Structure 1
Amino acid sequence: MPANVVDPLSVSESRRWAMLAASTFAQAAGVVANNGVAYLIPTLHRHEGYSLSTAGAIAAAPSFGVMAALVGWGWLADHRGERVVLLAGAGLTTVFSAAAALSHGVALLWLFLFLGGAASAAANSASGRVVVGWFPPHRRGLAMGIRQMGQPMGMAIAAVTIALVAAHHGVHAALWVPAIGCLVAAAAVALVVLDPPRPPRRAGSAPNPYRQDSYLARIHGVSVLLVVPQFVIGTFMLLWLTDARGWSTGAAGALVAVANILGAVGRIAVGHLSDLAGNRMGPLRWVAVAACAVMVLLGITAGLDWVVAVPLIVLASVLTVADNGLAFTAVAERAGPFWSGRALGLQNTAQFLTAAAAAPIGGLAIAHLGYAWTYVLTGVLPMLAVGLVPVRGERRVS
């Protein structure tokens, strides 16, 4: 592990916020490389002649790469620092995205997208460690909420850029978007990000936090349960609005975009609330209870075809993503400076795996039970999560 050569007192408040901005942008650029490939499916199918199954397999390649690499990048951040991981991840994502843009044939395209996804996973763990390392406990909830905006921001950038470039100039031209974005992110990281201070590592000074108690495992379980309604709403909201409510695609898409923006703001608000409350688990429990109530109400009103179901689904989309920053902050704080990279990697891996299963299972439930019952049954999971939220062992934020 590199020695800490930066005096924390010499780092200004503006530099800390600049590091947060660079880390958030690195996260957003990684999301463009990972999730943005989904916006290539229409062009791959309609203009490149690929079947929907082949196009879907190509779009899934980066996600497989992310899941394969999250814990490894976390281990590297624990042992070699955050700056090198962010730089290596953004740099390699640039290289592999460019290689995908220049590739020919499905096999090579899939391979380079897989490797690009694996490289983009670096920002998931390292950017969270930058927040926890450079911001004091009473500001971390707010800072992590801002950092968590990287995902919706990346999705918005991808929707605007990759889809349009692919439609007008083809798939390979669109793949230069994440390559350029990650190159800019690497430059931003190189300019402003410093490894946060951490105590000197001595023999026995970094015990495995998973062997001490069940605190981290319980938070992982809470996040897994809450990610199911998040992805059921996120995946099928547009379809529900158009099929069940009769909205036009344009109007439904606009409401989905508004819901995503509100969700990003909600993450910041809940993070700041946890700073004010002096703990993470209380607000996490409140979010889970509220998500359960709103999902059940959404199911009832959707079944009765009441118009209030529309604002309720927007509220549900906000509440079901509000826990992300809280859980992420709590995991990093509890794991400590020598284990938080791996712990955050495990946190994200569990969520990715659950999300991958939530969409097809949700679709099956909607096909056989309808939207109303699917929403109600999905709403039971946040209540189960309430029972898993740790009630003891949290260190008070101060």
Structure 2
Amino acid sequence: MRRWGMLALGTAAQTVACVFVYGLPYLSDELRNGSGLTLGQVGLLVACPTAGLVLALVAWGALADRIGERVVIVAGLAGSAVLLGAGSTVEGLVPLGVVLTLAGAASASVHAASGRLVVGWFSAEERGLAMGIRQTATPLGMGLAALVVPALAARAGVSGSLLFSAVLCGVVAVLVGMLAADPPRPASAAPEEPSGSPYRQAALWRVHASSALLCVPQFTAGAFGMVFLVEVRGWSAVQAGQLLAVAQVLGAGSRIAAGRWSDRVGSRVRPMRRLSLCIAVVMGLTALGAVWPSPLTDAAVVLACGITASTNGLAFTATAELAGRAWSGRAMGVQNTGQNLAASLTPPLLGALIGAAGYAWGFALAAGIAAAASAVVPAGPVRGGPGSRVKAWGGARAGRTTAPAGRRG
């Protein structure tokens, strides 16, 4: 059962990193009223951790490939804890922005290495499920931030909220340092292991590209679902927030279900392609609901917020399996970079379109991009189930008398 412990540690590390990176928007009111910042300045601060994250992902991934996952995760979380603790004492837009950017760069270690840790401990027959569970860290982190950060900011201000994130990062860093272990490393690559640069094959580039495209419907639904329910459907902000909390639960469940599906069918890309088409259909129905609003529109928004997150784990698992052990950290860093860039660009660009042409056109464009993503998903045998060419990374030492690394413990 050791591999499940590694999954729990990797998921916990990713969750606390997400509390900080994606929880800053919940400080917006305190930053405006308590610190006297303008809305534009608040937006700049909120973007700082993501900017640091994007800049550091590939470097942390390369370091994980070289020295291992546990050290990288511990170093990044410990660095985040120290920087966030220092940030709680900093005043002023520029100094705070610098600290938040550096803390975001430190937290990138978790995004680059925790998935590598999970993939390395699980055999191909369970890897999709494991990565689906690991990918629930994002909605878990956002949910924890939504529950704690606004109330804490009201009592202790921005400094208290940053200290909360610092403590979380510090505690999990200690746990990972004490309890985590890198997956067994084979003396030489397994015969099935891809050799050389994985970027010589088009499949990995297509996984990156399709996954970035699928961030557009995901962040369209996430960024504009609540305001759509309030402005078009007449929900109160509190009621809309509660409804979308259900969507977050649905999103977490969809990641797990998609991962398990990929294990059963022995392919990551086949479910990814079919889910892309489902996302296109659901976003299309949401666009129609914007033209002809009805109670079904509300259900379409919830379903859209849930199903658009379903492919994340599949894309990361396919990336790791295509890259192989020697390149997986860097490849998942590239994967994360593409997704975060798409996630950063989607709200302002789609927001401009929605402001000019209405919600229907914005949702329809997201549907069209999801359909395009289904065509970009590679058609080759990116597999993960029985008979797969990509088995557990310890497979080089796993002969007839030795279980694969993912099955030990």
- 2:75, 2:385 → 1: CA distance? 32
Aligned: 1:89 with 2:90: no
Q: Which stretch shows the higher mean deviation, 42-51 or 234-243?
A: 42-51
- Post-superposition shift, 1:395? 3.9
Work out whether 1:197 is the aligned partner of 2:172. no
1:209 aligns with 2:209: no
Distance 1:352 1:205, change over 3 A: closer
Counterparts of 1:263 and 1:52, CA distance in 2: 29
State the number of aligned residues. Answer: 383
1:258 and 2:246 are equivalent in the alignment: yes
Matched, 1:218 2:206: yes
Alignment match, 2:51: 64
Show the 5 A alignment for 1:1-398.
13=1, 15-200=2-187, 206-211=195-200, 213-395=201-383, 397-398=385-386
Conservation of the 8 A alpha-carbon contact between 2:250 and 2:307: no
Look up the equivalent residue of 1:350 and give its one-letter code: G
Aligned-partner residue type, residue 21 of structure 2: N
CA distance in 2, matches of 1:20, 1:42: 35
How far did 1:201 drift? 5.3
Deviations 1:40-73 (A, max 9, x none): 1111111211111111111211111100100010
Structure 2 CA distance for aligned equivalents of residues 240 and 301 of structure 1:
11
* Cα drift, residue 396 of structure 1: 5.2
- CA displacement at 1:206 relative to structure 2: 4.7
Contact 2:262/2:384 (8 A) holds in 1: no
What is the alpha-carbon distance in structure 1 between the residues aligned to residue 368 and residue 339 of structure 2? 18
CA distance change for structure 1 residues 298 and 205 in 2, over 3 Å: closer, same or farther? closer
Aligned-partner residue type, residue 279 of structure 2:
A
Q: TM-score, normalised by structure 2?
A: 0.91
CA deviation string 1:237-271 (max 9, x = no partner): 11001110000111000011110111001100110
Supply the distance in 1 between the matched residues of 2:5 and 2:28 (Cα, whole angstroms).
35
User: CA distance change for structure 1 residues 50 and 166 in 2, over 3 Å: closer, same or farther?
Assistant: same
Cα drift, residue 205 of structure 1: 8.5
For 2:82 and 2:267, the matched residues in 1 are separated by 41
One-letter code of the match for 1:49?
G
Q: Secondary structure at the match of 2:23?
A: helix
Offset, 1:104: 2.5
Q: Which runs of 5+ in 2 are unaligned?
A: 387-409
CA-atom RMSD in angstroms? 1.4
State the distance in 2 between where 1:199 and 1:217 align: 27
Q: TM-score, normalised by structure 1?
A: 0.94
Task: State the AA in 1 paired with 2:55.
Answer: A
Q: Secondary structure at the match of 1:173?
A: helix
Distance 1:385 1:191 in 2: 41
Q: Which amino acid aligns with 2:354?
A: I
> What is the CA–CA distance in structure 2 between the aligned matches of 1:393 and 1:374, rounded to whole Å?
34
CA separation of 1:47 and 1:306: change in aligned 2, threshold 3 A: same
Tell me how far apart the structure 2 counterparts of residues 265 and 128 of structure 1 sit (CA, whole Å). 18
Aligned-partner Cα distance in 2 for 1:332–1:363: 33
Which runs of 5 or more structure 1 residues have no equivalent in the other structure?
A: 1-12
**CA–CA separation in structure 2 for the residues paired with 1:69 and 1:81:** 17
Change (3 A) 1:396 1:96: closer
Q: Partner of 1:102: helix, strand, or coil? A: coil
Taking a change above 3 Å as real, the CA distance of residues 252 and 200 of structure 1, as seen in their structure-2 partners, is: same
Structure 2 residue matching 1:378: 3-state secondary structure: helix
Cα distance between partner residues in 2 of 1:59 and 1:323:
26
